[in-house]
Amino acid sequence: MPSKVKSTATSPGLINQRCEKCGALRHVEPYRQDGNPDGILLCYFCSPDAEIDRQEARKPSSHYRWIILVDHLAEPGTKPGTNDNAVGLMGPHNCDPAIPCGLPFRMSDDDKVLYYEGKASRVGFEPLDDFGAPNAGCTIIEFLSHAGTWEVL
């Protein structure tokens, strides 16, 4: 494993000592453990902080979501949530469905034909890049501004 020991020469606050768990010579900090009120000295990699960071990294990607609410091309009777009727489709892949989407967007093609309307948690090209362009050839995404006008992104 590559060592990430920082130089202590210019950082008097950082002291490299041996981690009491892995034995590596690294910056260590005292962590309390049951039955050891003084704590033990652990490097970041062995600390509870690192485990929390690893759990965060495994959560659904980013804090971003978009959803299609109207599919102007959908054939009557087609199942929602499919490429033939995109109502309810969400992105990005594995996004957290609990993320609030408050920004209305709409996607259209070069001829200004409106294909999809939806909402996103922030302004971005993702609905177009991930869905509108590959699925229907959309080239334009517009977001509703605070002034109530549609702004081409």
- The residues that touch Zn ion, with contacts defined as CB under 5 A, are 19, 21-22, 43, 46
When the beta carbons of 40 and 73 are compared against Zn ion, the nearer one is 40
When the beta carbons of 21 and 72 are compared against Zn ion, the nearer one is 21
* Shortest Å, Cβ 15 to Zn ion: 14
Find, among 81, 85, 78, the residue nearest to 97 by Cα: 81
148: phi > 0 → left, psi -120 to 50 → alpha, else beta; which?
Answer: left
When the beta carbons of 6 and 79 are compared against Zn ion, the nearer one is 6
* Shortest Å, Cβ 3 to Zn ion: 11
* Shortest Å, Cβ 19 to Zn ion: 3
Beta bridge partners of 68: 118
* Shortest Å, Cβ 95 to Zn ion: 34
Reading across the β-sheet that carries 25-33, which strands appear in turn?
Answer: 16-18, 25-33, 36-43
Spatial separation of the C-alpha atoms in residues 58 and 97, rounded to whole Å = 16
* Shortest Å, Cβ 32 to Zn ion: 16
When the beta carbons of 20 and 84 are compared against Zn ion, the nearer one is 20
When the beta carbons of 22 and 123 are compared against Zn ion, the nearer one is 22
Spatial separation of the C-alpha atoms in residues 33 and 10, rounded to whole Å = 31
Spatial separation of the C-alpha atoms in residues 118 and 106, rounded to whole Å = 6
